Chain A
Amino acid sequence: MSLVRRRTDLPTTSDATSRFVPLLIALMVFLAVMALSGLMVLHGLAGRWERDIRGTLTVQVPAVISGPEAEARSHAKVEAALNILSDTRGVLHAEPLGRDRIISLLEPWLGSADLIAELPLPRLIDVTTDPHIAIDIKALAARLEAVQPGATVEDHRIWLGRLLRLTRSVEMLAVLVLGLVGVITSATVIFATRTGMAIHHQVIEVLHLIGAQDDYIARQFARRTFLMGLKGGVIGLGLGIGAIFSFGFMARSLEGGVLPEFWLTPAHWLAVVSLPLAAAWIATLTARIAVLRALARMT
């Protein structure tokens, strides 16, 4: 017998649980959509950051800001640093960033480009390293410092490590939220099923006495719960998708990418839209088990 067969022996629309359960499952699915999409976006983002930053260093050389031929002296300092880098094993490529590029990188944070141009900006060298060769960053920094006092090496791995740790923590939190959503959904369905069984006690008793197998009665409740779960799940999904689009729109409207781009891949969308079905399935299974256990206690 199909789970979604239309005929049922239970009055499906006459009790409070038929309104309460879809509402609660809608809320749970909404939370699950937010947690899952957040989890997937963060996971993708962390992976992208790791790929982008692994194998790169930034060398910062203080600029000469006053005195005769300040620009030429600054340039010479950068050239000296480049020579050291080219002699360092594991460095694949080193390229000084142009002043315009530095200004454009700072613009989202500091505002007007004209204002930034007035500032004593250090010179930056973007270094690409061989990810298979470990560079002694401390030794490199010491050599650069010896030739160019004030020069520093920015190893992205340090802050990336911190960022990844933070990201993983948030990811675990999202997984925890998903787990809690599952547990709360199950607990709600157990409560609603027991209430439903109490309300429809007479129907159950009649079915029982005319020889209905426990499975027959459990299927009736399971089907009812599946439909309520699916209804609530679709509502929750709709709200969740609305929230995702709103958040994505807000993230894009903030200038300069202060927030990471919030987008989902087709595979992510597939996972998100399957949440109502997953919720309905959890609810159905829970209701079925709850009914079978309750019936097992009957004569």
Chain B
Amino acid sequence: MSARLPPSFDHVMRFESVGLRYGQRPEVLEDIRLDLKPGSFHFLTGASGAGKSSLLRLMYLGQRPTRGLITLFGQDVATLPRSKLPALRRRIGVVFQDFHLLDHMSAVDNVALPLRVAGVSESEIKKHVPELLSWVGLADHLNAKPPVLSGGQKQRVAIARAVIARPDLLLADEPTGNVDDTLATRLLYLFEELNKLGTTVVIATHNEGLIKSFAHSRLHLERGRLVDPPPFKEG
């Protein structure tokens, strides 16, 4: 399991004047400045195409910015040697919008992957992975492979994989998009539990109902820029 942040850290992630463009096209993210405090919880909102997924991609080091400075766990990502990046990535749990599950592996093996990559013993894996999968309601699907799982079940496997290693930073792209409201609320409670244990959480979502139910800060993107979040729609 990952180490907790040392108390001296005043931020988990900091973006300073960060911009991102793909090829020669206009910037999809412009002048992003943000500071994620340890143990904070944020919803990332914005219309489709506003740049939520791109921002998350920068956060989980799936992409390098075209300008600006990103500091993760106190380290400048741009100047960090490549060999140090995996250790940083292991401190981040990611729920991808399209799940990124490995189709040839069972649910258990998919969820166990971050632990195996981190060198956790098989006995620990056998103890914790089925427990977490049961918690997300997949006790009967431990050995099922993703192609036979429904969208909602895949999403829960993806969430379990993201949280199994107790990451310091949890990033989720529409993690409740394929589940009913009851399960969505339950999953949000799981994220809150992790947050209480010290994990910083950023959840990209369109689900205004959920955002209203959980009183956490909002990072709102409009056309690639972070702006003050608009008020919730009536009704």
Contact = CB atoms under 8 A, between A and B. Distances in A.
A1 to B, nearest CB: 9
B94 interface: yes
A209 B87 CA distance: 11
B82 A210 contact: no
A212 B82 CA distance: 12
A210 B90 contact: yes
Interface of B: 60-64, 82-83, 86-92, 94, 100, 102, 104-105, 113-114, 116-118, 161
A66 interface: no
Given A9-B113, A207-B117, A212 B86 contact: yes
Contacts of A9: 102, 105, 113, 116
Interface in A98-127: none
Contacts of A146: none
Contacts of B82: 296
16 contacts: A9-B113, A11-B104, A205-B100, A206-B100, A207-B117, A209-B62, A209-B89, A209-B100, A210-B113, A211-B89, A211-B114, A211-B117, A211-B118, A212-B86, A214-B83, A296-B82
A202 B98 CA distance: 12
Contacts, number: 53
Interface in A1-29: 7, 9, 11, 14
A213 interface: yes
Interface of A: 7, 9, 11, 14, 202-203, 205-214, 216, 296, 299
A211 B64 contact: no
B113 A206 contact: yes
A141 B117 CA distance: 82
A286 to B, nearest CB: 22
A216 B206 CA distance: 37
A299 B64 contact: yes
Contact of A210 (B83, B104, B105, B114): B114
A202 B92 CA distance: 19
Which 9 residue pairs across A and B have the least CB separation, nearest first? A211-B90, A211-B89, A11-B104, A212-B117, A211-B86, A210-B114, A213-B86, A206-B100, A203-B102
Contact of A202 (B87, B91, B100): B100
A253 B60 CA distance: 72
A290 B168 CA distance: 33
Contacts of B117: 207, 210-213, 216
B19 to A, nearest CB: 16
Contact of A207 (B64, B88, B94, B113): B113
Contact of A14 (B61, B90, B104): B104
Given A203-B102, A299-B61, 8 more contacts: A9-B105, A209-B94, A210-B89, A210-B94, A210-B161, A211-B86, A211-B87, A299-B64
